[in-house]
Amino acid sequence: MPYFDAASAAPLHPVARQALLAALDEGWADPARLYREGRQARLLLDAAREAAAEAVGCRADELVFTPSGTRALHSAVSGAAAGRRRVGRRLVVSAVEHSAVLHAAEAAAGAETVQVGVDRTGRVRPADFAAALAGEGQPRTGPESGGGGTALAALQSANHEVGTVQPVAEVADLCRAAGVPLLVDAAQSLAWGPVEGAWSLLAASAHKWGGPPGVGLLAVRKGTRYAPQEPADERESGRSPGFQNLPAIVAAAASLRAVRAEAAAEAARLSVLVDRIRAAVPRLVPDVEVVGHDRLRLPHLVTFSCLYVDGEALLTGLDRAGFSVSSGSSCTSSTLTPSHVLKAMGVLSEGNVRVSLPAGTSAADVDRFLDALPEVVAQVRAQLGAPTAVRGAGVGAGDEDPAEVEPAEVKAAEAEAAEAETPGTDAPEVAAEGLLVDSLGKRCPIPVIELAKVIGDVPVGGLVTVLSDDEAARLDIPAWCEMRAQEYVGERPAERGVAYLVRRRG
């Protein structure tokens, strides 16, 4: 069964397994003790720290091991914010940071968080970051800082959901010129190479590169003001209290060195497979949007969103077909809220699939995935009573129409769904401004499906108003309009929920 979710957790690297087993025999003692077993454990810890620091690009005494990457990010934000409290309480972060950074910023005592927006590829503009460092014109959360300075900036090296690589080196130069330390979340990129630029703090997690879970690392470069916010502890420079999981740390450092040695060749190989997925999915699956930057991206990751599809149902269908993938979107029954990353990008959130290939993925595995995907999507759409899909974006005039290659059983299911009465989808009311679609109480992707079903019932230039209380509709209706060449007029408050106005353009 192909596993395509390396961005969540990469399979344990063979070197990590070997190092872990060896360290269980040699590294079980307390490395703080002076007897023989303690000295042996200390040698292993020091060697692991040296190897990890070399991969990160920092001094060994600047790096500590933590119980997870999330813990490293939390400690980095709280420690740096506290260490520079006299400078100011403003924390500048990109709008697509990992939730661990955003939650830590929210929890920082008295902090004012400024979020820097991104473009539709998920990439920040350095000029916008510079403006935010100066406290100019960006969305804020938390108490006002009273005109104080910026305590900390945070920018991921590459996005966890869509793989877009950020201009870290350029932003780091801006931060240095402004006298602001920069925290880099390097969890997704560290396996592929060091993070360039004059960053001040860096965090990462071993399970992202094929090390064992439960090991993170935090680097704080010399000269960075840092005040740990946990009770004092003698271990790990006071920045990560508690007894270290030394066997896991040894395995994490060994696997990081191993994946780095393989990175160039594996990146070139996986990038070809990702390019194949990026090109094939819009051709094979109607009404799909590939998101993220097409060039400035991680070599192993691709994300796409499908219209008229529930993300949870799609992932379940792919799992039944034998493929383990994940979704960057939270438009599922568990949270009922769209992904903050996709929301910041302004792209479609429904039916979101993230494919992240682990080392060793074969072209045959990718081909099998591309063979299975169209049928799974079509089945989910048929179950939801979605309108007949049209040719997806990226299909040229000479390309094969995906509808012509759908399996017979899928076409039959779609025909049966079209004839059946869909609960809760009565004929829309005719309002003074056009058609009124009442989607109150219905969740993603139903509001968009109901909009798509009636858009042809109004004349060109006519309006359709969709009433919805689903948070995802605020993102998905404008995204649908862009994909379907319709005009999104805007939104207005309604007695219940929000009214979204769409004008038919063709």
Residue 29: which of 42, 20, 38 has the closest Cα?
38
CA–centroid distance for 307 within its chain: 19
Confidence grade of residue 43 (pLDDT, cut at 50, 70, 90)? very high
Residue 224 pLDDT > 80 = yes
With respect to CATH, is domain 429-503 assigned 3.40.640.10? no
Q: Which of 127-136, 183-192, 332-341, 366-375 has the lowest mean pLDDT?
A: 332-341
For 385-489, where are the alpha helices, taking DSSP H only?
408-419, 446-454, 473-483
8 Å CB contact between 486 and 477: no
Whole-number pLDDT of residue 433: 60
List, for residues 278-297, the tens digit of each pLDDT value: 999 999 999 999 999 999 99
Q: Report the 3 state secondary structure along 100-149.
A: HHHHHHHHCCCCEEEEECCCCCCCCCHHHHHHHHCCCCCCEECCCCCCCC
Question: Catalytic amino acids?
Answer: 331
Q: What single string gives the DSSP state of each residue in 344-408?
A: HHT---TTEEEEEPPTT--HHHHHHHHHHHHHHHHHHHHHHTPPPP-PPTT--TTSPPGGGGS-H
Q: What are phi and psi of 182, to 5 degrees?
A: -115, 125
Task: Report residue 94: phi and psi, to 5°.
Answer: -75, 155
Residue 324 in this model has a pLDDT that exceeds 90: yes
The span from the CA of 6 to the CA of 192, in Å, is 13
Local confidence band at 234 (pLDDT 50, 70, 90 cut-offs): confident
Q: What is the pLDDT of residue 329?
A: 60
CA dist 373 → 231, 359, 464 (Å)? 51, 22, 32
Say if CB 326 and CB 332 are below 8 A apart. no
Span 266-419 CATH architecture: Alpha-Beta Complex (3.90)
- Whole-number mean pLDDT of the chain? 88
Closest to 359 in 3D by CA, of 11, 57, 61: 11
pLDDT at 261: 97
Separation between Cα atoms, residue 206 and residue 250, nearest integer Å: 11
Q: Confidence band (pLDDT; 50, 70, 90) for 415?
A: very low
pTM: 0.85
Q: What's the burial of 21, exposed, middle or buried (CB within 10 Å: 0-12/13-18/19+)?
A: exposed
Task: Band the pLDDT of 404: cuts 50, 70, 90.
Answer: very low
Average pLDDT over residues 372-399: 71
Q: Which of 49-63, 69-83, 315-329 has the lowest mean pLDDT?
A: 315-329
Q: How confident is the model at residue 349 (pLDDT cuts 50, 70, 90)?
A: confident
Residue 160 has pLDDT above 90, yes or no: yes
163: tokens are 């793989």
Residue showing tokens 């993300």: 311
Label residue 138 by pLDDT band (50, 70, 90). low
Length of the chain: 506
Q: In the prediction, which pLDDT does 403 show?
A: 37
Q: What are the boundaries of each domain within the chain?
A: 266-419, 429-503
Distances (CA, A) of 335 to 246, 331, 350, 470: 36, 7, 13, 11
Q: Are strands 301-306 and 434-438 parallel, antiparallel or unpaired?
A: unpaired
- The model's pLDDT over 424-436, given as tens digits with 9 standing for 90+, comes to 444 455 455 679 9
Residue 32 structure tokens? 């703080």
Question: Which DSSP string do the residues of 275-313 spell out, in sequence order?
Answer: HHHHHHHHHHSSSEEEES-SSSB-TTEEEEEETT--HHH
Query: What contacts 218, CB < 8 A, 6 or more positions away?
Result: 63, 64, 65, 66, 72, 75, 76, 201, 202, 203, 239, 240
**The pLDDT of residue 472:** 87
What does residue 279 show for φ and ψ, rounded to 5 degrees? Answer: -80, -35
Report how far residue 323's alpha carbon sits from residue 430's, in angstroms, rounded to the nearest whole number.
44
